[in-house]
A and B are shown apart, each in its own frame.
Chain A
Amino acid sequence: MLTIEDLAKYPFLRKASSFVESYGLTFQDLASDEYDYVVQRAVERVRRGIEGRWAELNVVDPETEILAYPLALAFVYGLRSGWVVRRFANSEQKRCFELLKSEEKEKIAEVGKDGFDWDLEGTELMVSGALFDFSLPVENYLEVAPSFHSPDWKLVNRHVIGGRVYLKQVEVARLLSEALKLKILRKVEEEDIKKFQIPEKLLSKLEGLEKLMKETKKYDEDVMAEFVEEAKPPCIVALLKDLAAGKSLSHMARFAVTTFLINIGESVENVLKYFTSVADFDEGKARYQVEHIAGLIGSKTKYLPPKCDVLRSFGLCVGEDAYCKRVRHPLQYYKMKAREIKRKRDGRRSE
């Protein structure tokens, strides 16, 4: 049985939505003083998301918590910023993971069922040295697991029997919280979310949030504006080394290098320089291709580099370093490492 406290812990559950619906609240109602505490709580939840902290785990007032969640979501979508949605989704994921990690087994199965239609079954299966707490249908597992990069999440490295994947509790917590994150992210694509606008009356409550959003986001963008040489992923470094040595690269390798450099802000001229030592270099042809990839000519689409999976399939992955383990895309690698390097540098400077 899911209690009201459980619904406050996991306010994304269907049962929590029904609870909210039973109040029959309109935005009009929420804008009134009577529900100011709910609005405040919702704003706080979004604020924590933007700041990259997760909402408190302690639930003092379950009712407020449950009512505030859909409103917080409404704010997040209403702010019309993919960046805010991602920050919020990440903080909700972390919060959910922390809670589920130490949850009772039965509750976890209920959260899976009510939140995501997952058929989690508690078990105590011991196979050659490993003890599994749950089993989950393969198709449920694959809704989420492919978004994890680490090889131990690959289906081939899992214990799979009779259409079910066997998992430890902490892994189930990770999967469920990721499912929540994806649910928040994917909702952006829905038509009524795209059309949604925050009602006038509530807008005034969001002024602080909008300011915070601009400041935090600007910091992020500043980090990306400058090219950080040391932040390039190992696969790209290896390809650039081959180019410098005058080696002829495969089509896919050239495509990966070019799209990567263009996307981190290199100019066409600079990109061409990398290719000049290659034996069969033909400037006219190369320029045409690079400009095409940059979206300057032709279909005007700016191409993105292939994701890690694809690079791996083409044999262009040269093995992982610590950053690779945390990402699934070379650009993601660059952003993460560049941010950390810049933070360290800035920190040093301000000291």
Chain B
Amino acid sequence: MGEGVNKEVVKAFKEYYQTLDVNELVVKDLQEREIALIPLGQETMIRHMTFPDTVALKEYLENHIPAHLYYSSAYYREPQASDMNKKGWKGADLIFDVDADHIPTPCKADHDTWTCLECMMKGTGFPPESCPKCGMKRIETTTWVCDRCLEVAKEEVFKLIDEYLIPDFGVSLKEVEVCFSGHRGYHLHVQTDDVKRLTSDGRREIADYVRGVGLDPKHQGFRMMKDGSITGPDLRDGGWRGRFAKSVYAYLSRCTMEELRSVVGSDEVANIIMRNKDRLLRGIMANPPSWMGLRGVELGRTIRIAKAAVKDLLCNIDERVTIDVKRLIRYPNSLHGKSGLKAARISYSDLETFDPLKDAVVFKSGSIKVYVKEAPRVRIGDYEVGPVKNVQLEVPGGLGIYLLCKGAAELRE
């Protein structure tokens, strides 16, 4: 935040916390969680706070306006202890972090830039792991989000819930809390007693499950029979087996010859599959299924097809967040200091229509005169601006706060 703090942002954040309904701050077992915040205009985090109830928390927030407000995913016996070992860990929510930053979308070329801090080479789009010019890894990024990024992130959330959490993990909708992160993605909190005591290693297994890490189709029904023919899973199986069967069916129905050829690595095999496609698809659909259509295709190639088929079903989550049993995570319904947007809690039924760049905007009144240094095309609410550079503009309050928080604009008299 730093220099971005100015009177307009302070005024807006203050007003938000003063008029906030305490019920919006309700979280499960607040008194067992550590609360932390970074005050507006400062860089150091104040940690190890506890509050008996939301009224006490709100009162504190009104007097110490936070740029960022966090709570621990963990429940502690003594959340206020400053030594992590003395907190007395009791358990933690299971968190999934979906962040558009981690998903390479094509629109990143329109709004993201990166700079190598070693040789100062610049580029646009998804940042490379190391600088293509000097090979160093000190890369600074300037990222923005657009509707497309946020839409992709939302699809990931639906995938996670509908494809994994409900059918495979047996989690019910009322046990999942979805929050907009306030900036570039979403957080999912699973808060059942079942997940509470999971170890970090156990959580890694769940993260790997939804990301498909270490997934081996040979353990999910794909086998070579004694006579050399291939057999595969059933659409009705559920779990990864069912997912494989369904995706292979869908994949073979839609894939082009080109794609298939590159997946199986052989013109001849791709030809055989394409020629037998209808028979193959009918077989996969049948009850019990028959994978005889793949006769003559080795197991290794079948597995490559299976892996290619489920690629789009793998969840793009930041696994470090899921694995961490003592994570500080953004407080639901607090404001994000780098966007001014609200980390809104959203019910599953509203998620489809939730428009973060509109519904998470809390400053709706008035207008602000800002000097925009540089910004790509940005939309907040119904108002769009940019790309712009070095220009004084009068914009609606929400957009003004957004640009100020992003550090792309400043107040000039």
A and B associate in one complex: yes
Q: Which residues 203-218 of B have a CB within 8 angstroms of A?
A: 204-206, 208-209, 212-216
Q: Which residues of A contact B216 (CB under 8 A)?
A: 151-152, 157
Q: Which of B167, B202, B204, B215 contacts A161 (CB 8 A)?
A: B167
Binds A, one of B11-19, B69-77, B147-155, B229-237: B229-237
Task: Tell me, in angstroms, the Cα distance from A130 to B223 when the chains sit together.
Answer: 11
Residue from A128, A139, A157, A159 within 8 A of B197 (CB atoms): A139
Q: Evaluate whether A128 and B167 lie within 8 angstroms (CB atoms) in the complex, with A156-B208, A156-B209, A156-B240 already known.
A: no
CB neighbours of A137 from chain B (8 A): 194
Which residues from chain B contact A143 at a C-beta distance below 8 Å?
A: 199, 202
Residue A142 CB within 8 A of the other chain: yes
Residue of A nearest to B221 (CB): A128
- Give chain A nearest CB distance to B118 CB in angstroms: 13
Q: If the complex has contacts A127-B241, A137-B194, A160-B239, are A154 and B208 also in contact, measured as CB distance less than 8 A?
A: yes
Give 7 A-B contacts (CB < 8 Å), ordered by A residue.
A127-B241, A128-B231, A139-B194, A139-B197, A156-B205, A157-B220, A162-B169
Whether A146 lies near B199 (C-beta < 8 A) is: yes
Check: A164 CB closer than 8 A to any chain B CB: yes
**Chain A residues, Cβ within 8 Å of B376:** none
Q: What separation, in Å, do the CA atoms of A159 and B241 have in the docked complex? A: 7
Please indicate the chain B residues that have their CB under 8 angstroms from the CB of A151 in the complex: 214, 216, 219
Given contacts A157-B216, A159-B240, A163-B194, 14 further A-B contacts (CB under 8 A): A128-B221, A128-B234, A128-B289, A129-B223, A139-B194, A142-B206, A143-B202, A146-B201, A156-B205, A156-B212, A159-B238, A161-B170, A161-B238, A163-B168
Does B198 contact A127, Cβ atoms closer than 8 Å? no
Chain A, residues 120-141, CB within 8 Å of chain B (1/0): the string is 0000000111100000011100
Q: Is B195 an interface residue (CB 8 A)?
A: yes
Known: A155-B206, A156-B209, A156-B214. Is A138-B169 also a contact (CB below 8 A)?
yes
Q: How far is the CB of A147 from chain B (nearest CB, A)?
A: 8
Closest 3 CB pairs of A and B: A163-B170, A142-B202, A146-B201
Q: B202 — nearest CB in chain A belongs to which residue?
A: A142
CB neighbours of B213 from chain A (8 A):
156
B371: shortest Cβ distance to chain A, in Å?
41
Contacts of B202 in A (CB 8 A): 139, 142-143, 146
Closest Cβ–Cβ distance, residue A167 to chain B (whole Å): 13
| A144 and chain B: residue at smallest CB distance | B202
Interface magnitude class on chain B: 35 or more
In-complex Cβ contact of B233 among A128, A138, A162, A309 (8 A): A128
Across the interface, A129 reaches (CB within 8 A) one of B171, B199, B208, B231, namely B231
In the assembled complex, A20 has its CB within 8 A of some CB on chain B:
no
Given A139-B202, A154-B208, A156-B212, A164 and B221 touching (CB < 8 A)? no
Q: Which residues of A contact B209 (CB under 8 A)?
A: 155-156, 160
Q: Is there an interface contact between B205 and A155, defined as CB atoms closer than 8 Å?
A: yes
B221 near A129 with CB under 8 A, answer: yes
In the bound assembly, the distance between CA atoms of A157 and B221 in angstroms comes to 10
Please give me the residue from chain B that is nearest to A248 by CB atom: B135
Q: Are A162 and B198 in contact (CB under 8 A)?
A: no
Q: Which residues of B contact A163 (CB under 8 A)?
A: 168-171, 194
Residue of A nearest to B220 (CB): A157
Interchain CB contact under 8 A, A130 and B205: no
Cβ–Cβ contact A145 & B171, under 8 A = no
A160-B289 Cα distance, complex, nearest whole Å:
20
Distance in angstroms from B214 CB to nearest chain A CB is: 5
Known A127-B221, A160-B169: A146·B204 in contact at CB below 8 Å:
yes
- Residue with the greatest number of chain A CB neighbours at <10 A, chosen from B171, B199, B237: B237
Q: Per-residue CB proximity of A12-53 to B under 8 Å, as 1/0?
A: 000000000000000000000000000000000000000000
B135 nearest in chain A by CB position = A248
Partner of B198, one of A139, A159, A309: A139
Contacts of B197 in A (CB 8 A): 139
| Nearest chain A residue, comparing its CB with the CB of B197 | A139
Encode A162-173 as 1/0 by CB contact (under 8 A) with B. Answer: 111000000000
Q: Which residue of B lies closest to A165 (CB)?
A: B239
A155 nearest in chain B by CB position: B205
Docked complex Cα distance between A164 and B194 (Å): 12
Q: A128-B221, A156-B214, A157-B215 are in contact. Are A162 and B208 (CB under 8 A)?
A: no
Interface 1/0s, chain B 259-303, versus A by CB < 8 A?
000000000000000000000000000001100000000000000
Nearest CB of chain A from residue B193's CB, rounded to whole Å? 9
Inter-subunit contact A142/B220 (CB<8 Å): no
What CA separation (Å) do A138 and B194 show in the bound complex? 9
